A and B are shown apart, each in its own frame.
Chain A
Amino acid sequence: DAGVIQSPRHEVTEMGQEVTLRCKPISGHNSLFWYRQTMMRGLELLIYFNNNVPIDDSGMPEDRFSAKMPNASFSTLKIQPSEPRDSAVYFCASSLEGKWGYTFGSGTRLTVV
């Protein structure tokens, strides 16, 4: 298994631009999570999908952030418009049933200038 695949690995964009991060979970996993990691705030859960349905989006910082999971093998996290304070590493993780341990992707390092 190739694991959780995220793209791009690095993204540098100008403030105000739209950013789309992508994630392909492990085949057969039905829970998908988006996390943001920064030095200041540590690891923050942004949103959690179960069977492609958003279950908990209370961690999404504001309306500029949106996430979709159109099918079991693909999810996107979109930031529009992006701001410098959005700079962070964004991790996607998947799990079976949300109960067991997570498998994390390699992350997308986002820099907004």
Chain B
Amino acid sequence: AQSVSQHNHHVILSEAASLELGCNYSYGGTVNLFWYVQYPGQHLQLLLKYFSGDPLVKGIKGFEAEFIKSKFSFNLRKPSVQWSDTAEYFCAVNAWASGTYKYIFGTGTRLKVLA
């Protein structure tokens, strides 16, 4: 069965530190990959997405993610985090299976940035 793993459940960083959140998926076919962000008390918002082409994807607010097909990974990065990046981050995979698209979310990573 398809699955998405986010190994870091909680991450605490100081402002200006670099961020990398891991995301691995298990699915052998073609996938579309997403990162969502959920700020405290708010709904999920799309941060960035990968469908095809350049495996390095740039999203909003200085975030980027790299798709490494051989590693089944789509890690999220930001060179210098800000206090306002405190949020929960969800990786998601969309894959065609059994005649429909299956959209699977990871369990999320809670990021806390200390001012």
Question: Chain A: how many interface residues by the 8 Å CB criterion?
Answer: 22
A55 to B44, CA, bound (A): 23
Inside 8 A of B105's CB, which chain A residues have their CB?
42-43, 45
Question: Chain B: how many interface residues by the 8 Å CB criterion?
Answer: 18
Known A-B contacts A43-B90, A50-B100, A56-B100; the reply to A106 vs B107 at CB < 8 A is: no
| A104 at the binding interface (Cβ < 8 Å) | yes
Inside 8 A of A56's CB, which chain B residues have their CB?
100, 102
A111 to B73, CA, bound (A): 37
Inside 8 A of B71's CB, which chain A residues have their CB?
none
Complex contact A98–B100 (CB within 8 A): yes
Least distance between A105 CB and chain B CB atoms (Å): 6
Instruction: Report which of B44, B100, B107 forms a contact with A102, defined as CB distance below 8 A.
Output: B44
Within A23-81, which residues are at the interface with B (CB < 8 Å)? 31, 33, 42-43, 45, 48, 50, 55-56
A43 to B107, CA, bound (A): 7
Count: A-B pairs, CB below 8 Å:
46
Least distance between A24 CB and chain B CB atoms (Å): 14
Least distance between A43 CB and chain B CB atoms (Å): 5
Inside 8 A of A85's CB, which chain B residues have their CB?
none
- Determine the main DSSP class of B at the interface with A: strand
| B101 at the binding interface (Cβ < 8 Å) | yes
Known A-B contacts A42-B108, A43-B90, A43-B108; the reply to A98 vs B103 at CB < 8 A is: yes
Inside 8 A of A107's CB, which chain B residues have their CB?
43
Least distance between A96 CB and chain B CB atoms (Å): 11
Known A-B contacts A43-B105, A45-B103, A56-B100; the reply to A99 vs B44 at CB < 8 A is: no
Least distance between B42 CB and chain A CB atoms (Å): 7
Q: A98-B103, A99-B94, A107-B43 are in contact. List 9 more A-B contacts (CB 8 A).
A: A33-B103, A43-B107, A98-B101, A99-B32, A100-B32, A100-B49, A101-B46, A104-B44, A104-B45
Would you list 27 pairs from A and B whose C-beta atoms are within 8 A, ordered by A residue?
Answer: A33-B103, A42-B107, A43-B105, A43-B107, A43-B108, A45-B105, A48-B103, A55-B100, A56-B102, A91-B43, A93-B44, A97-B101, A98-B94, A98-B101, A98-B103, A99-B32, A99-B94, A100-B32, A101-B34, A101-B46, A102-B36, A102-B44, A102-B46, A104-B43, A105-B43, A106-B42, A106-B43
